[in-house]
Chain A
Amino acid sequence: MTRPPAGAETERTEGPAEVPTNASGNGKTTLGDRVAKAGERVRGSEAWESIFRPGSPFRKGYADSPRNRSYVIMNNVLYHLHPVKVKRHGVRLSYTLCLGGLSFFLFILLTITGIFLMFYYTPAVPQAYNDIAALSTNVAFGQLVRNLHRWGAHLMVITVFLHMTRVFYHGAYKPPREFNWVVGVVLLFLTLLLSFTGYLLPWDQLARWAVTVGSNMAGYTPVFGQQVSFVLLGGIQVGAPTLLRFYVLHVLALPFLIVIFMAVHFWRVRKDGGISGPL
Chain B
Amino acid sequence: MANIPDHLLRRSAEAKAKATGMLVEQVLAEMAGGAVPAAAAAGGATAVASAPATAPAQAIPAVPEGVRTQRMLTVVKAKAIQQVKREPTDKVNVWPHLLAIEFVALLVVTALLVVFSVFQNAPLLELANPNAQPNPSKAPWYFLGLQELLSYFDPQVAGVLIPGLGLAAIAAIPYVDRNRSTRPSDRKFAIMMFTFFVVAAAILTIIGSFYRGKGFTFTFPWRDGIFFDL
Seen from chain A, the residues whose Cβ lies within 8 Å of a Cβ on chain B are: 66, 69-70, 72-73, 78, 82-91, 93, 98, 101-102, 105-106, 109, 126, 129, 132-133, 136, 143-144, 146-152, 154-155, 157, 164-165, 168-175, 177-178, 181-182, 185-186, 189, 192, 195-196, 199, 202-210, 212-214, 216-218, 220-222, 237-239, 276-277, 279
Given contacts A151-B116, A165-B198, A220-B159, contact A210 B142 (CB under 8 A): no
Q: How close is A247's CB to chain B, nearest CB, in angstroms? A: 14
Residues A148 and B117 in contact, CB atoms below 8 Å apart: yes
Q: How far is the CA of A29 from the CA of B74 in the complex (A)?
A: 80
Q: How far is the CA of A143 from the CA of B129 in the complex (A)?
A: 23
Residues A185 and B134 in contact, CB atoms below 8 Å apart: no
Query: CB-nearest residue of chain A relative to B96?
Result: A69
* A91, A152, A172, A214: the one within 8 Å of B101 (CB): A91
Seen from chain B, the residues whose Cβ lies within 8 Å of a Cβ on chain A are: 89-99, 101-102, 105-106, 109-110, 113-114, 116-118, 120-130, 132-134, 137-143, 146-147, 150, 155-156, 158-160, 163, 167, 170-171, 173-175, 177, 179-184, 187, 190-191, 194, 198, 229-230
Residues A85 and B92 in contact, CB atoms below 8 Å apart: yes
Q: How far is the CA of A72 from the CA of B158 in the complex (A)?
A: 51
Q: How far is the CA of A171 from the CA of B177 in the complex (A)?
A: 10
Query: CB-nearest residue of chain B relative to A89?
Result: B90
Residues A169 and B96 in contact, CB atoms below 8 Å apart: no
Residues of A within 8 A of B170 (CB): 164, 185
Residues B121 and A185 in contact, CB atoms below 8 Å apart: no
Residues B182 and A279 in contact, CB atoms below 8 Å apart: yes
Residues B114 and A205 in contact, CB atoms below 8 Å apart: no
Residues of B within 8 A of A72 (CB): 94-95, 99
Given contacts A73-B95, A84-B93, contact A213 B147 (CB under 8 A): yes
Residues of B within 8 A of A182 (CB): 171, 174
Residues A88 and B90 in contact, CB atoms below 8 Å apart: yes
Query: CB-nearest residue of chain B relative to A148?
Result: B117
Residues of A within 8 A of B117 (CB): 144, 147-148, 151
Q: How close is A74's CB to chain B, nearest CB, in angstroms? A: 10
13 CB < 8 A contacts A-B: A82-B99, A88-B90, A91-B98, A91-B101, A93-B105, A102-B105, A133-B124, A154-B230, A195-B142, A199-B140, A205-B129, A206-B123, A217-B147
Residues A69 and B159 in contact, CB atoms below 8 Å apart: no
Residues B167 and A175 in contact, CB atoms below 8 Å apart: no
Q: How close is A188's CB to chain B, nearest CB, in angstroms? A: 8
Residues B113 and A178 in contact, CB atoms below 8 Å apart: no
Majority secondary structure, B binding face: helix
Given contacts A213-B138, A217-B159, A220-B160, contact A148 B127 (CB under 8 A): no
Residues A106 and B109 in contact, CB atoms below 8 Å apart: yes
Query: CB-nearest residue of chain A relative to B102?
Result: A101
Given contacts A73-B95, A86-B91, A152-B113, contact A222 B142 (CB under 8 A): no
Given contacts A82-B98, A151-B117, contact A207 B128 (CB under 8 A): yes
Given contacts A66-B93, A91-B92, contact A86 B98 (CB under 8 A): yes
Residues of B within 8 A of A165 (CB): 194, 198
Given contacts A171-B182, A205-B132, contact A73 B94 (CB under 8 A): yes
Q: How far is the CA of A30 from the CA of B62 in the complex (A)?
A: 94
Q: How close is A226's CB to chain B, nearest CB, in angstroms? A: 13
Residues A88 and B127 in contact, CB atoms below 8 Å apart: no
Residues A214 and B139 in contact, CB atoms below 8 Å apart: yes
Q: How far is the CA of A214 from the CA of B144 in the complex (A)?
A: 9
Residues A88 and B91 in contact, CB atoms below 8 Å apart: yes
Residues of A within 8 A of B190 (CB): 171
Q: How far is the CA of A153 from the CA of B167 in the complex (A)?
A: 21
Q: How close is B118's CB to chain A, nearest CB, in angstroms? A: 7
User: Which among A205, A208, A222 has the greatest number of chain B C-beta atoms within 10 A?
Assistant: A205
Query: CB-nearest residue of chain B relative to A179?
Result: B174
